[in-house]
Structure 1
Amino acid sequence: QRAGELPQQPFHNFRHCFSVTQMMYGIINLCRLQDKLPRKDLGVLITSCVCHDLDHPGYNNWYQINARTELAVRYNDTSPLENHHCAVGFRVLANPECNIFSGRTRRRVQGAQSGG
C-alpha cells in the first residue's frame, strides 16, 4: 500500500504510525540505545514501529476470532492481527522501492523476519 491508500481508521492510521515511530526514535536517543544495541536491532525497532498496525481493519483480535473473520481463519486464531500486520509489512518491504533488505543474504532476511 502507498501512504495515500491507507484505510481511513480513526486510530490505526498514518498519524498513529508516525507517532509510534517518532516515540521509538526518541526512546532510542534518550536511552542512548545506539551505544548499547547493534545497528541491526535499531533498524528492527524502527521498522517494526512503522509496520506494527499496517492494514488494520479497525477491530481487535478478540473480535476477529469470535466473528471467524478471514484473518482469524488464515492465522488459525493465533494473533491474527499481528500476523497480518507482519505479513503486510514484509510484502511492502519486498517492493523494489521499499526493499531495505536488498543486498542482504537470504539467511539475514530470514533472521530479520524471525526476530533473530
Structure 2
Amino acid sequence: YHNVPYHNNLHAADVLQSLHIFFQCGIKNMVPDLLQFAGYLAATVHDLGHRGLTNDFLISARDPAAIMYNDRSVNENVHLASAFRLLVQDELNILGGLTKEQFLLVRSQCIDMIFATDMAVHSALLNEFDAECDNNQMGGGSVFSNQTLLMKFVLHAADLSNLLCPLHVSQRWSILVLEEFFTQGDQQRICGQEISPLCDRHTVNISKCQVGFIDFIVRPTMMSLYQVLGDSMNDALANLEKSRLFWLSKQSMHEDVHAEGEGHRS
C-alpha cells in the first residue's frame, strides 16, 4: 500500500475489520469456510497499490494502467494483479496449501469481490442484491442462495462502512477521503486539466457532500444488508444516523469541516 491519505493500509485494515464484524453478525453461517477465507483475503488486498487517483482520472490522463486494462475498472484491476503477483512468490504464498480447485475458487471469488468495489457498478449491484433478497424472502439469518453475490455485496458494504463508526472516527475518515480527492484536484489544477467532481478544495461543500453520500449511497446499501443481518446492525445504523445529523447540522449552520491538516473547523 502507498502512503496516500485514504486508500492506504489503515483503510484496508478497517475494511477487513468491518467484513469480520459482518461475518460475525451472521454472514459466516451462510457461506462455507473457503469463501470466508476468500473474503478476508479480498478485503486485505482490495485497494493494494492504490495511488490515490480515481478511475476517471487515470482514464482521462491515459495512464499506463488505464491503457493496460482498457479503461475498465482500472484501479480494481491493479489491486488484483498486484495481489496475485505477490501471492505467487514462494515466501508470500499463503495459498500454497490449497488444491488447484480450491485456489481457482478463491481467486475467482477475490476477482468478483474486488471488481464489486468499483463504485461504477454500485447501482447495478444494489439492485441485483435487493432482487435476490426478495427472491429469498430474507428475514434476518435466512439462507442466501447466491453466495457469490452475497460476498460481493458484503465487501462493498464493508468498503463503505466507516460511516457506521462512532462519530469521532467516521468524521476523520471523511476528512481523509476528501483530502485524497482534493490532492487529485490540486494535481489537475496544476496541469491545467478540468477538475473532477468533489475534487476542488476551494468549492466543494463537504457537509453537503457527506449528507448526499449517506442518503444516496451508504444508507441504501446498509438497509439492503439489514435484510440479511437484521437487528445485529442496529448500533451501526444508529451511528450512521448520528453522522448524518452531524453533517446536516454543519450544512444548516453554513459551517464546514475542512480536509486540510488535521481537519479543523472554520
Q: TM-score under structure 1 normalisation?
A: 0.86
- Counterpart pick for 1:52 among 38, 46, 51: 46
Match of 1:3 in 2: none
Determine the structure 2 residue equivalent to 1:81.
75
Quick one: distance in 1 between partners of 2:56 and 2:70? 13
Which residue is 1:13 aligned to? 8
Q: How does 1:62-101 map to 2 (within 5 A)?
A: 62-101=56-95
* Alpha-carbon distance in 2 for matches of 1:38, 1:107: 15
Q: Report how far residue 57 of structure 1 moved.
A: 1.1
Match among 20, 33, 41 for residue 35 of structure 2: 41
**Deviates further, 50-59 or 87-96:** 87-96
Give % identity: 31
Instruction: Quote the offset at 1:16 in angstroms.
Output: 0.5
2:108 maps to: 114
Please name the residue that 2:21 is paired with: 26
**How big is the shift at 1:95?**
2.3
Task: Please report the TM-score for the alignment, with normalisation by the length of structure 2.
Answer: 0.39
The structure that has the greater radius of gyration is: 2
Q: Secondary structure at the match of 1:87?
A: helix
Between Structure 1 and Structure 2, the one with more helix by share is: 2
RMSD after superposition:
1.5
User: For 1:65, what is the secondary structure of its paired residue?
Assistant: helix
Deviation of 1:41 after TM superposition, in Å, equals 0.8
Structure 1 residue 113: Cα displacement: 2.0
CA distance in 2, matches of 1:21, 1:8: 18
> What letter corresponds to residue 91 of structure 1 in structure 2?
R
CA contact (8 A) 2:2 2:8 kept: yes
Q: How many residues align?
A: 110
| Superposed displacement of residue 64, structure 1 | 0.8
Once the two structures are overlaid, the 10-residue window that deviates more, 68-77 or 33-42, is 33-42
> For 1:66-109, what per-residue CA distance to the aligned partner results, in whole angstroms no more than 9, with x for missing partners?
11001100101111110110011111222223212103233432
Structure 2: tracts of 5 or more residues without a match: 110-147, 149-266
